[in-house]
């Protein structure tokens, strides 16, 4: 019975994904009528070349990047929550986002181009997680708590480094860029971004789908997983590695985007229960839809784009409250 429900939700959300994707290509500050949209996209009429250019060079890349970012962030949120047996963790648990923020801020202060901002954000993000893992190793204690604690320590260090960089940025121009970057935006998404992000997200997602059932057993913790025949340490580092890669690569291009990594896994678990075999595919569709809708909202209603984190925060909270309200019976039973 539960299986059927998952399949229904999965196919419905897949359909919705396609609809939302096309909707995202149709709406924006530059208005294109539905008729013109199809003519621009499926004919070669030179009359619509401006429309076509807006769709192809602006909307398609940013919508794909939004979708990929949504998938990546909600998946890594789910992975962290399952692996660390803590529903309140989000993808920046081990300091990826904070680290990436430091990298980006540093690049902005030095005055590097946007490509290097991404490179530095990615590199420092990954380095931060490695530091976290190393510090945890230093304690010679394999427990998740130590890793979480180490994540908090390193995360704290990174946010103070960020404050320091912001302080030294001084210049109001750079400070504004840093703040803007930290709130996330897809405005700089280009086809090149897609070419880099797509393989990373696709390969990680396919791999995660293939081991999706096993993640359930990893989620039981070291003792149970290991005695049931799972190489817990290997899987845990693999999962942390993939989640970090996904978060760091998307954050590097779009800045830090809060909430989504927390909200989507919760919504999905409320629907499908706690079975990664079902929640992972649902996270992919739901995360993608959510982020594309957020992007539409952020760029359609005002002449300046609203930072993504502002929209995810607002929109995410509302959805979250509604779902908790609808599901309150289930919570009472427990």
Positions touching another protein (CB under 8 A) are 1-2, 28-31, 49-50, 52-54, 56-58, 85, 113, 140, 170-173, 177, 187, 210-211, 213-214, 216-217, 219-224, 226-231, 269, 273-275, 277, 299, 302-305, 333-334
Exposed (0-12), middle (13-18) or buried (19+): which is 304, by Cβ within 10 Å? exposed
Tell me whether residue 126 or residue 225 sits nearer to another protein (CB atom): 225
- How far is residue 324's CA from residue 334's CA, in Å, rounded to a whole number? 14
Q: How far is the CB of 157 from another protein (least distance, A)?
A: 27
Tell me whether residue 42 or residue 113 sits nearer to another protein (CB atom): 113
Q: How far is the CB of 152 from another protein (least distance, A)?
A: 21
- How far is residue 262's CA from residue 5's CA, in Å, rounded to a whole number? 22
Describe the crossing of helices 144-169 and 172-182 by its angle, rounded to 10 degrees.
150
Tell me whether residue 199 or residue 330 sits nearer to another protein (CB atom): 330
| Residue 210 tokens, joined | 């293939």
Tell me whether residue 59 or residue 158 sits nearer to another protein (CB atom): 59
Q: How far is the CB of 234 from another protein (least distance, A)?
A: 9
Task: Give all strands (DSSP E) within 174-317, no chain letters.
Answer: none
Tell me whether residue 127 or residue 211 sits nearer to another protein (CB atom): 211
- How far is residue 97's CA from residue 257's CA, in Å, rounded to a whole number? 9
Q: How far is the CB of 218 from another protein (least distance, A)?
A: 9
Q: How far is the CB of 149 from another protein (least distance, A)?
A: 18
Residue 267 contacts residue 320 (beta carbons within 8 Å)? yes
| Residue 17 tokens, joined | 């994904």
| Residue 229 tokens, joined | 């025949």
């Amino acid at each position: 019975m539960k299986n059927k429900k998952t399949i229904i939700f999965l196919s419905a959300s897949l359909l919705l994904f396609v609809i939302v994707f096309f909707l995202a290509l149709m709406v924006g500050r530059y208005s294109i009528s539905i008729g013109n949209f199809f003519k621009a996209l499926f004919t070669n009429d030179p009359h619509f070349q401006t429309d076509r250019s807006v769709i192809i060079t602006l909307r398609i890349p940013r919508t794909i990047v939004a979708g990929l970012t949504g998938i990546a962030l909600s998946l890594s949120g789910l992975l962290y929550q399952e692996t660390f047996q803590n529903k309140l963790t989000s993808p920046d648990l081990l300091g990826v986002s904070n680290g990436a923020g430091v990298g980006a801020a540093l690049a902005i202060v030095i005055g590097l181009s946007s490509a290097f901002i991404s490179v530095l954000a990615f590199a420092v993000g990954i380095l931060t997680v490695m530091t976290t893992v190393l510090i945890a190793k230093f304690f010679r204690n394999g427990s998740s708590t130590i890793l979480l604690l180490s994540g908090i320590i390193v995360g704290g260090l990174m946010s103070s480094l960020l404050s320091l960089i912001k302080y030294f940025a001084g210049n109001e121009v750079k400070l504004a860029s840093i703040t803007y970057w930290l709130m996330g935006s897809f405005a700089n998404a280009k086809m090149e971004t897609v070419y880099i992000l797509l393989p990373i997200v696709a390969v990680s997602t396919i791999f995660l789908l293939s081991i999706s059932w096993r993640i359930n057993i990893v989620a039981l913790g070291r003792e149970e997983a290991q005695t049931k025949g799972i190489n817990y340490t290997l899987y845990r580092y693999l999962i942390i590695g993939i989640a970090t890669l996904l978060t760091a690569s998307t954050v590097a291009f779009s800045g830090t985007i809060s909430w989504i990594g927390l909200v989507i896994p919760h919504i999905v678990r409320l629907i499908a229960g706690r079975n990664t075999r079902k929640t992972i595919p649902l996270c992919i569709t739901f995360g993608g839809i959510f982020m594309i809708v957020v992007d539409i909202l952020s760029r359609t209603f005002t002449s300046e784009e609203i930072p993504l984190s502002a929209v995810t925060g607002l929109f995410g909270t509302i959805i979250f409250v509604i779902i908790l309200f609808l599901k309150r019976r289930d919570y009472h039973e427990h």
